[in-house]
Amino acid sequence: MFLYKLEVALEDKTVFMIVMGDSDEEVMNEAESHLSKYFVVPPKVREIVLVEKKRANKGAAYVLDRD
């Protein structure tokens, strides 16, 4: 398993997601699924970019800075 840090460009803003999965393809599909569940109206996704990928070991983490 891996942790994926994704940058998602929506129509009106950019959001970051952390998704766990076994493959890049699986994670991209899961990301779109989670976006449609999170927002009341599913957003129009312009682009999903894989920023970083690391093994999901104990203590693995990402720091998300809002700036």
pLDDT, tens digit (0-9, with 9 covering 90-100), for 11-61: 999 999 999 999 999 999 999 999 999 988 888 999 999 999 999 999 988
Neighbouring-strand partners of residue 49 = 7
The confidence band for 10, taking pLDDT boundaries of 50, 70 and 90, is very high
| Domain count across the chain | 1
| Cβ–Cβ under 8 Å, residues 4 and 19 | yes
Q: Is residue 25 part of a domain?
A: yes
Residue with tokens 């950019």: 14
Q: What is the CATH number of the domain that holds 41?
A: 3.10.20
Return d(Cα 26, Cα 18) in angstroms, integer: 13
Residue 67 lies in a domain: no
pLDDT at 53: 95
Does 23 map to a domain? yes
Does residue 13 belong to any structural domain of this protein?
A: yes
Give residue 63's pLDDT. 84
pLDDT at 67: 61
Per-residue pLDDT, 61: 86
